[in-house]
A and B are shown apart, each in its own frame.
Chain A
Amino acid sequence: MNKLVVSPSPHARSAESVPKLMYGVMISLIPALGVSIYFFGISVLIITAVSVLSCVLFEFLIQKYMLKGKPSHKDGSAILTGMLLAFTLPANLPVWIVIIGALVAIGVGKMTFGGLGNNIFNPALVGRVFLFISFPVAMTSWPEPLQRLKYINAETGATPLAVMKEGMGKQPVSEIMNELPGYLDMFIGKMMGSVGEVAAIALLIGLIYLLWKKIITWHIPVTILATVVVFTGILWLIDPESYADPLFHLLTGGLLLGAIYMATDYVTSPMTKKGMIIYAIFIGIITVLIRVFGAYPEGVQFAILIMNAFVPLLNKYIKPKRFGKEVKHG
């Protein structure tokens, strides 16, 4: 007979594993990727492939030669970071900029903190914000949809949010809206924007998949979207000629991508349901503040990074509902 194995209970394990969760998220990203390939063509494939490969490579190199730890590039988290980073970039971004973004995302955003599970900020967003600040021109010229075979040489334009920001205060909102694609086009993704953020419908399908597979809970994405709708709705009701309507805010920019994929990142979001809701409300508020009153047309990335910094605080002070009230002894 074999030696008996002795271990503390429980002796049963679920089939859950880190790679399984990561691949689950990747599967949910496929519709968005598909729509993006349809509108932006080959350039999407180049950007995504470069981003994923360089993220995995950097993770492998840093883990092996700098941290001298066990290889962690196989757990899927680097692939996911690569995909998410690519999703936040314009499709016509030169390859070398993408590689720099991947280096910052993995190197600065993740591995400096000790690798998966220890980072404070969402690595993909760290990479994106770094590029956004370092290469403002390249990062704000977006290819127009349906130029499938063009990459860097694609015709470019501004995103609906940038157009809105530009025009706000100078002309009424209804006039600006006439220059923009219709809501149906926005919904299916036929507008200018980053690789993964354009197709609202594909992102919503992804959300449903994530919720169905219980990879994430509804708390963060739904609360962010609801907060944005309520906040922009109030502004819109006050003065519909100065402020865009809530639907416009929902469908444009990186809001859906941010709310569904970036803010829900396990490592950088709160541990309790109550904490998640507070975190999400603030992301919504900060996003709208930046979009409507701030200097940048888009604010989701900053809102999420700012709230990431507050997560440890939320974890410390927001506790889950405990079972049973305290009894007073004596």
Chain B
Amino acid sequence: MGLLTFSLGGIHPPENKISAGKKIESPGLPEIVTIPLAQHLGAPSKVVVARGDTVKTGQIIAEANGFVSTNIHSSVTGKVLKVDLFPDSSGYRRQAVQIQVEEDDWVEGIDLSDTLVKDFDKSQDEIRKIILNSGIVGLGGATFPSHVKLMTPKGKTAEYLIINGVECEPYLTADHALMLEKHDELIVGVRILMKGLGVEKAIIGIENNKPDAIKIMEKASAEFDSIVVKPLKVQYPQGGEKQLVQALLKREVPSGGLPIDVGVVAFNVGTVYASYLAVQKNRPLLERVVTVTGKSVKKPSNFLTRVGTPVSYLIEKAGGLPEDTAKVINGGPMMGKALSRLDVPIVKGSSGILLLMEEEAYRKETQSCIRCTKCVTVCPMGLEPYLLMTQAEKAMYEEMEGEKVMDCIECGSCVYTCPSSRPLLDYIRLGKGELGKILRARKAV
């Protein structure tokens, strides 16, 4: 029998999981952390500390500002140096809190031990509240506030909880490492989220290039009939929510819809672990596993990193910046963002830091489209990237709506496969942005 996978398109880029099998280690604390206030989708949080305040590890420094927003906690103990604009990965300056690190003194009531706590007696509402208060967001990269996902909208019912252990991005191994080391905790986390969501069934999807993780998760979940581990065929972008739901359940999330429209809610394994820590140990989300990798990196690692740690600090800890580094990417090579500077902080959504060498960093020269149809073939959403690019170039944004450009998940498969090295996604993204403006304006009228 063939392994499960999604039906439309897909590619298989070289996996390059250099840091696979590396234990999760702590890189230690930097001297200064910078914690941005907009680390999640939705409204940036409201800052509640001021310059000169002393904050403890785990203390709330910014509160949720609306329903689709979340709390942000201090990841260190120290003095607030500044609440000001600091450059983010794009170089644009955004609100952030800068803290001078003094020590690591946690707020009282947080269980810092490593012991596994299996039993929980919290009610559904309590779980949702803890998730909100602990500032948990989707750690797969989208950083959508998790408590929002647990609130099933009226008229819809959740049937399945899907756990995303796919990690289809080349190079990244953060989720893999987490599954290997924290499998028991993850299963408790899955049970917590099932209760929080009110569902009876959970499926954990893992690509079969991680056989050790599949095995260990199957073992850990053996005692629960309601939790199933399903191996998946390696194919990018299987970690996309819509693709994963289709691969596991053969259900298609409708265009413009969410997985809940087909009775599914999906969480990344990192989010599950964070939920476990929040509910069982009272620990808010202030650190995450970050893969630091690259072909020329001396010590590829999986670091359990505090939010706000500068990227340059992590690179130092992984053996220093290699001489031939030309591009540093926050995330994986397919969907990650290239950094324009290295003093920017790790945020909740950073799953990896990838260093590319000079020879891998540049694009090939763009040639004219030969209409080979490869972009259409690989598009997992069934779109026509060649057409969308032309339309965006010619500013035909309204026409792009009919071609379903808003369904594009920006996975980059089209650009990866294009023999003419055309900047398809650059223009599609531009078109999405411009069309989004038009649609919002239309709604406002």
Residues of A within 8 A of B (CB): 1-2, 4-14, 16-18, 20-21, 75, 77, 115-118, 217, 266-267, 269, 271-273, 315, 319-327, 329
Nearest chain B CB to A210 CB, angstrom units: 12
Contacts of B407 in A (CB 8 A): 322-324
How far does the alpha carbon of A315 sit from the alpha carbon of B325 in the complex, in Å? 43
A17 lies within 8 A of B419 (CB) = yes
**Whole-angstrom distance from the CB of A143 to the nearest CB of chain B?**
35
Residue of A nearest to B261 (CB): A327
Given contacts A11-B333, A324-B255, A327-B261, A4 and B338 within 8 Å (CB-CB): yes
Whether the pair B333, A21 counts as a contact (CB closer than 8 A) is no
Are A14's CB and B257's CB within 8 A? no
B341 contacts the other chain (CB 8 A): yes
Q: In the complex the two chains form, is B340's CB within 8 Å of A323's CB?
A: no
Complex Cα distance A273/B379, Å?
13
Name B's interface SS.
Answer: loop
Report how far A9 CA is from B331 CA in the complex, Å: 10
Between A and B, 10 residue pairs with Cβ closer than 8 Å are A4-B326, A4-B342, A9-B425, A10-B334, A13-B363, A266-B371, A315-B387, A320-B379, A322-B404, A325-B254
CB distance from A159 to the nearest CB of B (A): 32
**Which of B103-111, B173-181, B410-418 lies at the interface?**
B410-418
**Does B235 sit within 8 A of A, measured CB to CB?**
no
Chain A CB within 8 A of B125 CB: no
The distance in angstroms between the C-alpha atoms of A117 and B337, with both chains bound, is 31
| A311: nearest chain-B partner, CB-CB | B371
Closest-by-CB residue of A relative to B89 is A6
- What chain B residues lie within 8 Å of A5 (beta carbons)? 326-327, 338, 361-362
> What is the interface of chain A mostly: helix, strand, loop, or mixed?
loop
Which residues 335-385 of B have a CB within 8 angstroms of A?
A: 335-342, 354, 356, 358, 360-364, 367-374, 376-377, 379-384
What class of interface size applies to chain B in its complex with A?
35 or more
**Contact between chains at B415 and A323 (CB < 8 Å):** no
In the assembled complex, the Cα of A269 lies from the Cα of B170 at a distance in Å of 33
Given A6-B338, A14-B13: A326 in contact with B372 (beta carbons within 8 A): no
- Residues of A within 8 Å of B170, CB to CB, are 12
Query: In chain B, what residue has the closest Cβ to A267?
Result: B371
- B325, B333, B340, B420: the one within 8 Å of A10 (CB): B333
Among B329, B335, B369, point to the contact of A117 (Cβ < 8 A).
B369
Q: Which residues of A contact B419 (CB under 8 A)?
A: 16-18, 20-21
Q: Which of A13, A115, A272 contacts B364 (CB 8 A)?
A: A13
Q: Does B256 contact A (CB under 8 A)?
A: yes
Task: Report the Cα distance A279→B89, complex, angstroms.
Answer: 48
Contact of B382 among A4, A8, A9, A323 (CB under 8 A): A323
The verdict on A324 contacting B376 (CB below 8 Å), with A5-B361, A75-B367 known, is no
Partner of A11, one of B325, B327, B371, B372: B327
CB-nearest residue of chain A relative to B327?
Answer: A5
A174 to B285, CA, bound (A): 84
- Write the chain B residue with the least CB distance to A268: B371
Contact status A7-B363, CB under 8 Å: yes
The answer to whether the Cβ of B423 comes within 8 Å of any Cβ in the partner chain is yes
For residue B328, CB closer than 8 A to chain A, the reply is yes
**Cross-chain contact B358 with A2 (CB below 8 angstroms):** yes
Contact A326 B256 (CB under 8 A): yes
Which of A21, A267, A271 makes the CB contact (< 8 A) with B376? A271
Q: Is B317 an interface residue (CB 8 A)?
A: no
Q: Which residue of B lies closest to A320 (CB)?
A: B382
B331 contacts which chain A residues (CB < 8 A)? 9
A1 to B355: give the CA distance in the assembly, Å: 13
Evaluate contact between A10 and B416: CB separation under 8 angstroms. Answer: yes
**In the complex, given contacts A5-B338, A16-B419, A271-B384, what are 12 additional A-B residue pairs having Cβ atoms less than 8 angstroms apart?**
A7-B327, A8-B426, A10-B334, A11-B329, A12-B170, A12-B360, A18-B367, A271-B376, A320-B383, A322-B382, A322-B404, A327-B257
**Bound form: Cα–Cα A172–B369 in Å:** 50
